[in-house]
């Protein structure tokens, strides 16, 4: 059994597939990370309007225009996204396939969603390899960035819990490739 506790820490761990690559770009600042992840959360959230409260036609028209614009931009930028890889993510670190990145990599570009070519660029504190996987802890001197990552992992966990409640624990949904676990459950699954 492989133990990634020293990389992933004691908090929530989510298992998902996201585009991931080495990066030479400057690290994402906490305020930019907050804006990016909050915007993605809003766009991925289902509308809360009831059947008794339909959206005004002007708003529906505007939403359709924005959807079309997002589709066009995504189509243009989809080739710039690295391939999706299976990974384990926590607010303290990440575990991914070993052959993915060069050994001298100090920054990772994680694309928080499959349809947007805007990465979070995060610094890492070197690699630890175990078998076919590598792990790295986030190098985040700023408390704000750690808090942003905790909120993102929790949001991914909460979305998976809601999906399981709605569809049952055995249901698979290609659009939702997130599962969550505590560190003990994660280590027992390996």
Residue 169's pLDDT is what?
A: 66
Tens-binned pLDDT, residue by residue, of the chain (190 aa): 358 999 999 889 999 999 999 999 999 988 899 899 988 888 777 666 666 677 788 888 888 888 888 788 878 877 788 989 999 999 999 999 988 888 889 999 999 987 788 899 999 988 898 889 999 999 876 778 888 889 999 999 998 888 888 887 665 444 444 444 544 544 444 4
Residue 146's pLDDT is what?
A: 84
Residue 72's pLDDT is what?
A: 84
Residue 135's pLDDT is what?
A: 94
Sign, Cα dihedral of 176, 89, 185, 154: negative
Residue 43's pLDDT is what?
A: 78
How many Cα neighbours within 13 Å face the side chain of 21? 13
Local structure of 62: helix, strand or coil: helix
Residue 175 to residue 86: CA distance in whole angstroms: 14
Q: Can you state the percent helix, strand and coil of the chain, rounding each to 5?
A: 40, 25, 35
CB 90 within 8 A of CB 153: yes
pTM for the predicted model, two decimal places: 0.76
- In the chain, beta strands by DSSP E: 13-22, 84-89, 93-97, 107-110, 120-123, 128-130, 133-137, 179-181
Residue 63's pLDDT is what?
A: 83
Residue 1's pLDDT is what?
A: 32
């Amino acid at each position: 059994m492989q133990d990634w506790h020293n990389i992933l820490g004691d908090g929530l761990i989510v298992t998902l597939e996201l585009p991931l690559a080495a990066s030479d770009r400057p690290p994402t600042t906490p305020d930019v990370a907050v804006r990016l992840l909050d915007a993605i959360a809003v766009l991925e959230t289902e509308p809360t309007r009831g059947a008794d409260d339909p959206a005004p036609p002007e708003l529906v028209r505007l939403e359709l225009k924005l959807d079309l614009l997002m589709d066009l931009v995504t189509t243009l930028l989809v080739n710039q996204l690295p391939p999706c890889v299976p990974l384990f993510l926590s607010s303290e670190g990440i575990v991914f396939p070993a052959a993915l990145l060069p050994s001298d990599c100090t920054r990772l570009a994680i694309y928080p969603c499959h349809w947007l070519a805007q990465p979070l660029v995060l610094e890492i504190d070197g690699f630890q390899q175990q078998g076919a996987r590598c792990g790295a802890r986030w190098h985040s001197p700023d408390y704000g960035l750690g808090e942003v990552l905790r909120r993102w992992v929790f949001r991914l966990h909460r979305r998976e819990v809601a999906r399981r409640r709605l569809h049952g624990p055995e249901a698979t949904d290609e659009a939702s490739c997130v599962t969550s676990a505590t560190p003990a459950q994660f280590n027992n699954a390996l």
